Chain A
Amino acid sequence: MPDTQLEHTQTLIKLGQPEQDEWALSRVEEALPKRRPVIVPLALWQANAEDPQLAPWLASDTLLDDELAKTLAKAPLVAIDFPAFTDGRGYSLARLLRERYGYQAEVRAIGDVLVDQLYYMSRCGFDALALRDDQHLDDALRALGAFSVSYQPGVDVQEALFERRLREANSA
């Protein structure tokens, strides 16, 4: 395939900081691009998983089961696609990947990734956020830090607030 079809993220936030992105993204199902490193559709990655310069992206309707999770464990990063910002399935996928399957390397949000989703994404285990091109970095960094407290446990905080309150009351 011609590498002109590759996507390059203009703004990547990694662990809360802007970072230069090495990875290109291909959405073409049929053929591998030449460029490395590159994120490719899951099936294409599965067929070429021995290449350490390739990483998979998951569609939002991917059924993440034990078998797939085992395969993904080898991936240098896993990207999860948001075909529309209103499609919330990616949040569950990221949590499953992190919490159930203990995936440790980068989990990246791609696609319709907007400023006001970033806080929830970071709580669900996304540590790399590939912003849609029209999003502003300063808005994004501000939105990421919108909350200093949360009620539920997530990938970031493993304790529900009700548990924290009890712990603090006991140690006081």
Chain B
Amino acid sequence: MYRYDTYDQTLVDERVDQFRDQMARHLAGRLPEEEFRPLRLQNGLYIQKHAPMLRIAIPYGMLSSTQLRTLGDITRRYDRGYGHFTTRQNLQLNWPALEDVPEILADLAKVQMHAIQTSGNCIRNTTSDQFAGIAGDEVEDPRPWCELIRQWSTLHPEFAFLPRKFKIAVSGAAEDRAAIQVHDIGLRLWHDSDGSLKVKVLAGGGLGRTPMIGDVVREDLPWQHLLTYLEACVRVYNQFGRRDNKFKARIKILVKALGIEEFRRRVDAEWAHLKDGPQTLTQAAVDSARAHFIEPERRAVSGQAIAAFEALRGENRAFARFVTNNVCDHKVAGYKAVTLSLKRREHAPGDVTADQMDAVADLAERYSFGELRVTHEQNLVLSDVPVDQLEALWQELEALGMANPTVGTLNDIICCPGGDYCGLANAVSIPIAQALQERFEDLDFLYDLGPLDLNISGCMNACGHHHVGHIGILGVDKKGEEYYQISIGGNATDDASLGKILGPSFYREDVPEVVDKVLKVYVEQRHDDERFLDTYRRIGLKPFKERVYA
């Protein structure tokens, strides 16, 4: 993974000093809250319902064991011994004290981490595919490109006060696992027929109050121009994005208002001046970024060991379930990627205790070269596990409560912190997730349903990505009462779509029953192995609506 040199380290250290100074001025009364606010937000610090919240960046989801241990340590010393992995590959602390935050940032800097631009109206943490570098369907490892974007966007002097937040996601595989169509800018790396690397650039996707699928700005940008082209896109947004109404300030509104042709024309006009300028990438620049993401020294795994693994899978039903759901194929024979489920009833989705962080850090060292990844589905991944160690790892994960064989099922709920923590939320979301996990815990039932994304957001800001859940649940507030709106048919992958609302919203206690009715319609109407999403696309909303509101 990427390792800081003295320049990177100097920059994050100086950032800590800068924030220490800002915090001191704030506490001394020289920096009023209104003016401190954007500064603290650009260091990840929110003031939430019960306490401040600190969002720590995990650039494109890559984390080392050392970093994870430090995170655990920080949650013990400054918080309540747990953290929350978010849908944008970040980690949130729910209970830090305001005045401790500079110290927390200083501790993070010691392990090459920071909270820079994890919030605020600026370019946020760039996200990517959790299987980057190991997926069989990958044409280009997105991580070096993400790192180049991270550096370009970090403390960008021109783009610290954009109209609104700006999120970039990068995918380099055949299957989009980074939800690039619902980001302000989505980038897809691909090879043309000559084998040269091109970047497809989408703009104007996003969730929130006005969900939209991104439009293609450029199909085949040569890789050399990635940064200058991004600069042109963001400059056009900075100049022309709406600033009069924060609900209409995202780039998606600008793209729709101008139309994609006019938006493209403006970007190209801007780019004409920047193209071939100082940020043009060279082969040497890309090679040096790539040098940080070299293949680990994997050992050979014998055919015998692979056969033994397959045999065990045939004999042991529990192990087989785990492998089928939580283990992914790897581009190297004999290796697998293992997803650690952070979805279990006892904890909020995405929550991990400090002790679990330590334990997972150890597991990553013993089984997967001391590195792990954070997924936008709020799970963790050990990316390089030899199959002859899978059984041992599985047993250790069972003991840790992270082997729930439900990844990709209805039980693998994506969920924001909701009204239990978040100052923006209209309604709680974690108790909804827990009620659903309790109701639908029978594994055979879950497997019979097949792949099903159920996403919950506690408000229309959509941190829980409810618009792109096959089933989406949104907390709404009506005259001080919590209600839940249910939509179906959303999807975040290649054939991305936004869910449609079933109808009037429901009381909290009725949500599991409504979901059950939706599932029954699917089970009755599906053809053979048809996915929930495909059944919905075939039969439409009506049968679901009729059942639910009968």
A: which residues have CB within 8 A of B? 85-89, 91-92, 95, 100, 114-117, 119-121, 123-124, 136, 139, 142-143, 146-154, 158-163, 165-166, 169
- Name the contact of A166 in the complex, choosing from B21, B31, B288 (C-beta under 8 A): B288
Interface residues in chain B, defined as those with a beta carbon under 8 Å from any beta carbon in chain A: 5, 7, 10-11, 14-15, 17-18, 21-22, 25, 30-31, 35, 38-39, 121, 148, 151-152, 154-163, 227, 235, 238-239, 243, 273, 277-279, 281-282, 284-285, 288-289
The reply to whether B152 and A120 form a contact with Cβ atoms under 8 Å apart is no
A100 to B270, CA, bound (A): 10
- Starting from the known contacts A146-B14, A151-B154, A159-B278, 10 additional A-B residue pairs (CB-CB under 8 Å) come to A85-B161, A88-B162, A88-B163, A116-B22, A116-B35, A150-B11, A151-B151, A152-B151, A160-B227, A166-B282
Residues on the B chain within 8 Å of A115, using CB: 25, 31
Contact A146 B17 (CB under 8 A): yes
Q: List 30 A-B contacts (CB under 8 A).
A: A88-B162, A88-B163, A89-B238, A89-B243, A91-B157, A91-B161, A92-B239, A115-B25, A136-B30, A142-B21, A143-B21, A147-B15, A147-B155, A149-B14, A151-B151, A151-B155, A152-B151, A152-B152, A152-B156, A153-B279, A154-B157, A158-B278, A160-B227, A161-B151, A162-B151, A162-B285, A163-B278, A165-B288, A166-B285, A166-B288
Least distance between B123 CB and chain A CB atoms (Å): 11
Q: B157 to A162, Cβ gap below 8 A?
A: no
Residues of B within 8 A of A86 (CB): 38, 121, 161
Residues in chain B near residue A139, CB distance under 8 A: 21, 25, 30
**Which residues on B sit within 8 Å (CB–CB) of A87?**
161, 243
**A88→B249 CA distance, assembly (Å):** 13
CA A67 – CA B159 in complex, angstroms?
A: 25
How far apart sit A162 and B226, CA to CA, in the bound complex (Å)?
Answer: 14
Asked if B157 and A120 sit within 8 Å, CB to CB, the answer is yes
Cα distance, A117 to B121, chains bound together (Å)? 14
Indicate if the CB atoms of B279 and A148 lie closer than 8 Å. Answer: no
In the complex, what's the smallest C-beta–C-beta distance from A84 to chain B, in angstroms? 9
The answer to whether B157 touches A152, judged by C-beta atoms less than 8 angstroms apart, is yes
Query: In the complex, which residues of chain A have a beta carbon less than 8 angstroms from the beta carbon of B163?
Result: 88
Give the CA-CA distance A86 to B159 in the complex, in Å: 11
Residues of A within 8 A of B30 (CB): 136, 139
Are B157 and A123 in contact (CB-based, < 8 A)?
Answer: yes
3 tightest A-B CB contacts, nearest first: A88-B161, A123-B157, A120-B157
Output the least CB separation between B106 and chain A (Å).
Answer: 15
Q: Is A92 a contact partner of B235 (Cβ separation < 8 A)?
A: yes
Q: Which residues of A contact B5 (CB under 8 A)?
A: 165
Which residue of the partner chain, among A91, A120, A158, A162, contacts B148 with CB atoms under 8 Å?
Answer: A162
Q: Is the CB of B243 within 8 A of A85?
A: no
User: Contact at B10–A91, with CB atoms within 8 Å?
Assistant: no
Considering the chains assembled together, what is the distance between the CA atoms of A154 and B277 in angstroms? 12
The interface residues of chain B lying within 8 Å CB-to-CB of A158 are: 278
A89 — which chain B residues lie within 8 A by C-beta? 238-239, 243
